[in-house]
Structure 1
Amino acid sequence: MASVLFWFRNDLRLHDQAALRAACAAGSASLLPVFCLPSAQEMSDWGFVRSGGQRQRALAATLRDLAAQLAALGCPLLLCRGPAATTLPALAAALHITRLVCEDIAAPEEQADVAALRAAGLDVTTVWQSSLLDPATLPWPSSALPASFTTFRQGLERAGVTPPAPLAAPAALPPWPEGVTIPPHLRAELATVAGDADASTALSTDPRSSLADGAGRFDSGETAGLAHLAQYLDKGLPATYKQTRNGLTGLDFSSKWSPWLASGAVSARRIVAALRRHEAQHGASDGSYWLWFELLWRDYFRFLHLQYGSALYRARGLADSAPASHNAQGFRRWCEGRTGEGLVDAAMRELAATGFLSNRLRQVVASYLIYDLGGDWRAGAAWFESQLIDYDVYSNQGNWLYIAGRGTDPRGGRRFNVAKQTADHDKNGAYRRLWRS
């Protein structure tokens, strides 16, 4: 029986791991779990690093938790440095392994990586597992998705489509290949991700952050993510979610599930299964429904990628018209929180300091860049990619297209009046004072 490489991507967990189960079910005698660390110096097309310090630190902490769990099962995680498209074929050749299994990700760069692995001679199996719903159970083929989220949601609910039950974490895994020696130039250490001295597991170390919690509730990784999910439900917070979800700062105004969903440390199916148990015990509410509603938005952006692929990354997106020329100077002021608009600047300072921003503020600052500053929406999406610790390729692209009016939304974009948003959500100036500097 042959050995199998299992490539972790945005699925940094052991529960609900259909791809990992597929790797083990193949009858492999040995398994080598691997993660390719992104370069901290890789630059975006807009002149800044693609993965900033906050993201790097959160990733390192998530990987520490995953590595500890794999080690406990006798199948350690191998960390490699370098692009997967070149690093994994070199690793496979050195170890005489030809088969690789991984999560399927429908974004263009991620698809190109898999194509490169196959072109290099690897036998690659991809498994779709990041969505709440199984694409095969939708009332439409992925190539004919409804052109608006509302129609999508209503169609699902009329058809009674439900998510599959989450898979349990494996109780055992195959061992590493016998006598394996990893070439030193391919191997990496976690300490190199976010700095040798930074071994913090906290999602944010700034005490002002909505993700700061002295009890460790907002640590990175699967273990902490599942604990947070349980605590959120135990506190009965789904009942008030719809009323509080537009808050700007604090612990419990929103679910804060996004960092773990983005890294794959907690699966959407695990969350909904827990939410349904909570509803069975305490009753459903507008708030618990709205949590489901938000997870359906997350799915919609994933399925849009299955339908449109690289078209979602064009300057014009799915629209007919090209965007206006980019205001580079305004974009720099926006990134640095120096636009002169108090709410926008406070939000951009929070983002830089913590890697997190409330959903309401993400919409406000995106609208401001596009419509008030004349910035290219793709530059804003790239800045969010660099900064957000809950960056998700599907949701980030989908939300920026939505605000810019270049996705499927029939209203043609969302422009927010900053003065009104300030009056509605920060009338007393508490948020702006908190993030004055």
Structure 2
Amino acid sequence: MKKETIKSIILTVLIITSFLLTWNTWTYQPATREKTDTKLYESIPITNETREFHEVVRPQQLFIHEGDKHYSTLNGTYMNSTWKKMQEWEYSNLKKEEQTFPNEQSFQTWLNGIKEKIELRFFSEIPMFTFQSMLKWEAEITGNLSFDSILLQLDRGSEIQKVYFVSYDKMSVLESSVNNENASNFIEGLFNNKGEFQEYFSIQIGNGKSLYLPEKEVTVEKYQYLTEEVEGRKFRDALFTNPSIVKQDYNRYTDSVRLLDISLSNQTVEYVNTTVRNSNSLIASSLIDKSIVSLNSHGGWTNDFGLFHVNEEEQETTFIMMIKSMPVINSARKPFGPTTISQVWGENELAKYYRPLYELVDNGFQNNSSTLMSGRSVQEMIIGENAKYDMLQIENIFIGYELSNSGNYVNAEPVWCLKMDNGETTIIYEEDKVTGGNANGME
């Protein structure tokens, strides 16, 4: 064989070998890399509890108005049944734009024009988009409309039930109707039960809004609960995307960018994601939506909670613990852990999360009752000569429960509360009527 032929054969083999090696280099993927890249980590929910939107976004008070007479009750049965019934109605004839009143007098004149009505009041402004999403009600509206009260007009014998979505803060009204005779009959039946309610009186606080307080002293049941701490690792497994790389230092967990701090002494859980930047991009309806979806996905409903406050400026939502449809307030005077869940959002991710570590076990048991001072006495304390509150900053006055530690149990005792327009809550103690002091609640 000639030398030239041998050289050609060797050169051809070298070229083919080089090509194969280059191809293998381009297409080769180590098995370990493939396994690492495709492995998915699923969070493990703290509980299996989830909530429908209407179970979290719900009214806090129900009033019956008959001209200058007002009635209400602390029995949540009437309010809850009305709210549940309203989820079944088919709404129509929603006006595309709200009616806004130029001044307080014209707004009050409109309110007084509906002589007989049922009113449902909420702790926070509720976006119209949120209400529509609960009902799958596709109605065209303009702007980010919201309301803090719903008025159900009593029109005896009518087959059409008028529904008004009212914002006292904006002095605006959005009108709709329900073409259902059963809805009208339900409202008429509820109105006729006002004899089972207590008589209330009104206090004007501005923007046409009135607060309603009971004429007489109020007797409210007290309860005792066993409590149970939620294990820190459950929050770790629920909140971190990859729990396997999380390092633990006593009751602090971190993956270098997220921090979870568990405080046994304060009964608090605090989670911070340092990679999330501040953002003001989410409107109220989106904040509520993301917060409820988040709590559903990681099983954060350890007890009954309701929407309490929405702060678009801070991109924050707050949910408050409820006992027998009444809010639970924590105070500096009798501290026992937080009673609210707060979430701060940034760039569509959860930036901060603060909540109770404990949960109230079972339904509790009744432990006698307390008699609270009348609304007239409360009125004297908040607008009397020695009052320390600015009426224009008071958003609501209501009765809630205060938690205090009692050995192996937690006591839930009824108290009078003020909610200020910044979301802060203050407890009014009857002894402060004499001493002139006050105790701040949650912040």
Question: Shorter-chain TM-score: what band?
Answer: under 0.3
Q: With a CA cutoff of 8 Å and minimum separation of 6, indicate the structure with the bigger relative contact order.
A: 1
Higher strand share: 2
Greater helix fraction, Structure 1 or Structure 2: 1
Compute the TM-score of the two structures, normalised by the length of structure 1.
Answer: 0.28
Q: Decide which structure has the larger Cα Rg and report it.
A: 2
